[in-house]
Structure 1
Amino acid sequence: MNLLFANDKAGQYPASYYAATRAELAPFPELRGTVNADVCVIGAGYTGLSAALHLAQAGRRVVVLEAHRVGFGASGRNGGQVGSGQRLDQVQMEKIAGRENAHRYWQMAEDAKALVKGLIKDHAMPVTFHPGVAHACWHEREVRDTHAYAEKLHRDYGYTQLEPLDRDGIRALIGSDAYKGGEIDWGAGHVHPLNFTIGMAQAASRAGAVIHEGSLVHRIDHGAKVTVATGHGRVVADHVILACNGYLGGLDRKVAAKVMPINNFIVATEPLGARAVEVLSKPVAVADTKFVVNYWRLSEDNRLLFGGGESYGWKFPDIIKTVSKPMLEVYPHLKDVRIDYAWGGTLAITMNRLPCFTRVAPNVLSASGYSGHGVALATLAGKLMSDAVRGQSEGFDLMAALPQPRFPGGAAMRWPLLVLAMTWFSMRDRMGV
């Protein structure tokens, strides 16, 4: 079974709040016949569209192939949080990469946030960047660790955007007694994720990139010229960029052995009106410290968008039931609120939660496995691959230098082993460990 079609109708966005409030974008035509390009980009999410935009701006002939619609995958379904840093904190990054390189990775993450904000502004995209992401801690020790980490970032990295919160502070912010404290990162933020993707597609198209929707890639034939075949056409290109993330399938087995697709889910309530202040007193996004993270924010029409729960099979579960349970643990007073939208999506994780940047072949680049930290990082990844295609590979090579182990058992056995591991961590969450 192909994850591209396991839970969705061909060529259609899921019935999400984001799809219901998306900016207008006329469909792009399916690829038919043979075309030549400097670069063929496979996947029209953040990674692929950012690569296409930057390459087209540099004068390259770019063809983008998307199996469904632009932003169909995780780029159009996620929580919209534009987070700081890498997926691992800087303490861990220093252990993995050393202090000097850890600073470089931190700066790259800062550049990624700035890139998102800059693209929105420079291309007048139909999306607003809202500052502020709060981190809510379930346990006192997590509060102490969070506040100590904020001090480290201030002292060692000059980062001054973190506002510590005690129990009263987090309670005043999120209107729940569930948490012991936390912080607000005012340097982070949140966006309407699908409209950001649509904005990048519009910008890339205006810059000269040719986008084809409904063009599922079946095969890649490697060589000095790479041939990418779809159902009704093919692209012959000097370079290929794989930007498929959780929907890579069997296009490259070596990447698939290091990158695992998993499913995550979000619900959107009815508009809360005056009750919205019972959920958030400031227009920030929130993520908590559970291993299977709960995350939420208010929409611009004051709906609660709440994400939680994961699954590791092909088919989505009962999403409302899956997400309502953690939502009501945080906000029991919302038990009478109607759920208007419920949707799931497939993202990709790696063993160590660091992204997988790799040269599949001398003229084929791949970036994926953002592990829930992809809005900013995937957008930067596209730019870094654009730079590398044009001979400026320092940024891409730095990311590719991060250790990236294979899942035990490779592509064949990764799924059942992951299910066992994630079930254990989910049990720990339920036990409050």
Structure 2
Amino acid sequence: MDSTDENNADATGAGTHSGPTALQLARGRASTSHGLTYRPYWWEAAPRRQSAAVLPGRADVVIVGSGFTGLSAALTLLREGRSVVVLERDAPGFGASTRNGGQIGSGNQKFRVKRLIELRGRKKAEAMLREGVRMLDTIEHLITSEKIDCHFSRCGRFRAAMQPEHYESMARDMEDLRQVAGVESYMVPRAEQHSEIGSDVFFGGSVLPGDASVHPALYHAGLMQRIEERGGHVLGSAGAQGISSTQGGYVVKTPLGEISCKNVLIATNGYTDGLVPELGRRILPIGSGLIATGEIPEATFSRLLPKNRVYGNSNRVFYYFRAAPGERRIIWGGRVGRIANNTSPLAFRHLARDMLRVFPDIADVPVTHAWDGMIGYTYDEVPHLGRTAAGLHYAIGYCGTGVSRATYFGHKIALQIVGKGDGHTEFDELVFPSVPFHPIAKHAVPVVETWYRFRDATKI
């Protein structure tokens, strides 16, 4: 996508859009004439907008990146009496913070508990897992205390087992998670899974009742509004082009001019580039694609998603889905297609295929929106925050669980910037490894995904 798409976004509601049927998209029979809208469904309720503010000559803190990390940090810094400018090279919130699926977990999904203990030791693993639970509580507290209207709901998560052995492994892990971190969950066997999902594809699954959902673009818009009300600046078309050290601080160069500051925070996650090479080689950007359906008949919708949770599966090539807030539409996400053109229906047909394997009854429902975004992956699959050798602060690398993690890490790194002791996290002391063969690794992602898909299909 280019930035002109978001400038032309209307706020008339998703109901004004049509598109190919899910079956047409899945079979590669959709064409550009079908009217598929190539921008996030979320932007219908919260179109991206440019800030009219002028770049100040100086601020206490300059934040590079206007996603959840940057805005959460900005809000905390403003509460602490610091002046803040957030820089964004596109429209504010153009990146993954308004492109994700709006699912909120504790951030504990990347490792099974026993594996995390093997990697970090029991004491550290337990502390990291419990902090993950606090991340989820933190975003709920922020949304509630700031009165942000963004459809936040503790709807719970159903994670579906793709194979019988996945179900058994999941059950053991859920028990470990309860014992180690106090996270409550329960298992739903295949014979009872229609109480959770109207599909026969799976072999049961687990329910995490405390997980949540949100409208990500409305959440982002609410954060921006609170920042501006407190005197902060969020500037679009103002990407950082260079950062140089000065006596007592830094100078950040932008297309709007230069700004001096005492501290800089890099909050770019999946959009981390060569601005700070030390960070650029530690983040692997991986694309995530999403589609949104049109309205599904009520009888069908209530049967497919009877408890209206957020959903995912146990495969290596993960897909995730949920209902749009207040509507009978499904938002379905997964890895990006191997077609480079993200304004081609062919780039999203694999998502429709996966969706119809789970829900064949919606083959005739139109797909109205298709879009993608970049996830920031780290080599050790955990997020990191801290300072570079040049003293720049950073908080990045959420590995696909960024809604709660980014909000939490933005808050914590802001407290570290102002020297508050409660800015400490269990992730502070972790070594932040570079991604081996970084330039090659970026191009190898589609090959690895294809291999994982083969292993998923052959049960290896």
Calculate the TM-score normalised by the size of structure 1: 0.92
3-state SS of 2:241 partner:
strand
Structure 1 residue ranges without an equivalent (≥5): 1-5
From 140, 145, 153, give the equivalent of 2:169.
Answer: 145
Shift of residue 96 of structure 1? 2.2
Is residue 60–residue 84 contact of structure 2 (8 Å, CA) maintained in 1? yes
Question: After superposition, what is the alpha-carbon deviation per residue over 1:17-57, rounded to whole angstroms, capped at 9, x for unaligned?
Answer: 100122x786312654x511110001111000000000001
Is the CA contact (8 Å cut-off) linking 1:65 and 1:211 kept in structure 2?
yes
Q: Is the 8 A contact 2:49 2:91 kept in 1?
A: no
Which of 3, 6, 9 is the matching residue for 2:4?
9
Equivalent residue of 1:387, what SS? helix
Distance 1:312 1:94 in 2: 35
Query: How far apart are residue 234 of structure 1 and its match?
Result: 1.7
Amino acid at match of 1:418: V
Closer/same/farther in 2, CA of residues 348 and 376 from structure 1, 3 Å limit = same
Distance 2:435 2:337 in 1: 17
Match of 1:278 in 2: 303
Distance in 2 (CA, whole Å) between partners of 1:202 and 1:268 is 27
SS at match of 2:453: helix
State percent identity of aligned pairs: 27
Deviation for aligned residue 1:195: 1.0
The aligned residue for residue 413 of structure 2 is: 385
One-letter code aligned to 1:322: H
Amino acid across the alignment from 1:151: E
Partner of 2:12: none
Distance 1:339 1:11, change over 3 A: closer
Deviates more, 1:211-220 or 1:317-326: 317-326
Q: 1:430 to 1:310 in 2, by over 3 A?
A: farther
Moved over 4 A (4+): 311-315, 393-397
Q: Deviation per CA, 1:325-368, whole angstroms, max 9, x where unpaired?
A: 11111111211111111111111111222113241245311111
Pick closer, same or farther for the CA change 1:78–1:179 going to 2, 3 Å.
Answer: same
Q: In 2 relative to 1, CA 31–248 (structure 1 residues): closer, same or farther, beyond 3 Å?
A: farther
Partner Cα distance (2:71, 2:123) in 1: 31
Contact 1:267 1:306 in 2 (8 A): yes
Once residues 245 and 126 of structure 2 are traced to their aligned partners in structure 1, the CA distance between those partners, rounded to angstroms, is: 36
- Give 1:163 deviation, angstroms: 2.1
1:98 aligns with 121
Q: Among 267, 270, 273, which residue is 1:243 paired with?
A: 267
**Contact 1:266–1:344, Cα closer than 8 Å, also in 2:** yes
1:416 to 436, 443, 450: 443
Matches within 5 A, 1:18-417: 18-22=42-46, 27-29=50-52, 31-32=54-55, 35-86=57-108, 87-131=110-154, 132-160=156-184, 162-223=185-246, 224-274=248-298, 275-299=300-324, 300-311=326-337, 315-316=341-342, 318-361=346-389, 363-392=391-420, 395-396=423-424, 398-410=426-438, 412-417=439-444
**SS of equivalent to 2:196:** helix
Preserved contact between residue 337 and residue 350 of structure 2 (Cα < 8 Å): no
Query: How far 1:148 sits from its partner (Å)?
Result: 1.3
Q: CA deviation at 1:308?
A: 2.0
The superposition leaves residues 155-185 of structure 1 with CA deviations (integer Å, 9 ceiling, x where unpaired) of: 232222x121100232331111110011111
CA contact 1:69–1:214 (8 Å) conserved in 2? yes
Q: Which amino acid aligns with 1:360?
A: T
For the 8 Å contact 1:135–1:286, the answer to whether it is kept is: yes
| Alpha-carbon spacing, 1:84–1:336, altered in 2? closer, same or farther (3 Å) | same
Q: Distance in 1 between matches of 2:193 and 2:245?
A: 53
Contact 2:252 2:260 in 1 (8 A): yes
Give distance in 2, aligned partners of 1:143 and 1:94. Answer: 21
Offset at residue 70 of structure 1 (A): 2.5
Counterpart CA distance in 1 for 2:181 and 2:349 is 42
**Distance in 1, Cα, partners of 2:210 & 2:431:** 27
Q: Tell me the secondary structure at the aligned position of residue 170 of structure 2.
A: helix
Alpha-carbon distance between aligned partners in 2 of 1:172 and 1:11, rounded to the nearest angstrom? 39
CA distance in 2, matches of 1:236, 1:314: 39
Structure 2: which 5+ residue stretches go unaligned?
10-37
Aligned counterparts of 2:450 and 2:245: Cα–Cα separation in 1? 39
Distance 1:405 1:423 in 2: 25
Pair 315,222 (structure 1): closer, same or farther in 2 beyond 3 Å = farther
Structure 1 window deviating more from structure 2 (223-232 vs 89-98): it is 89-98
Residue 130 (structure 1) shift = 1.7
CA distance in 1 between partners of 2:396 and 2:295 (Å): 35
Q: 2:23 maps to which residue?
A: none
Show CA shifts across 1:211-257 (max 9, x none). Answer: 11121221111343111111121221100000111112111112111
- Bigger mean CA deviation after superposition, 262-271 or 351-360: 351-360
Cα distance per residue 1:244-271 (max 9 Å; x no partner): 1111211111211111111111111111
Relative to 1, partners in 2 of residues 1:7 and 1:27: Cα closer, same or farther, differing over 3 Å?
closer
Larger CA deviation: 83-92 vs 209-218: 83-92
- The CA distance in 1 between the partners of 2:425 and 2:204, in whole Å, is 38
Whole-Å Cα distance in 2 between the matches of residues 235 and 168 of structure 1?
62
Superposition RMSD in Å:
2.2
Q: 1:270 to 1:418 in 2, by over 3 A?
A: closer
Amino acid at match of 1:379: T
TM-score for both structures, normalised by structure 2: 0.87
C-alpha distance after superposition, 1:113-147 (max 9, x if no partner): 11111111111112122221111110111111111
1:126, 1:359 → 2: CA distance? 34
Secondary structure of 1:9's aligned partner: helix
Secondary structure (helix, strand or coil) at the match of 2:93 reads: coil
Instruction: Tell me, yes or no, if the aligned pair for 2:336 and 2:347 is still in contact at 8 Å.
Output: no
1:413 to 1:354, Cα distance in 2 relative to 1, 3 A? same
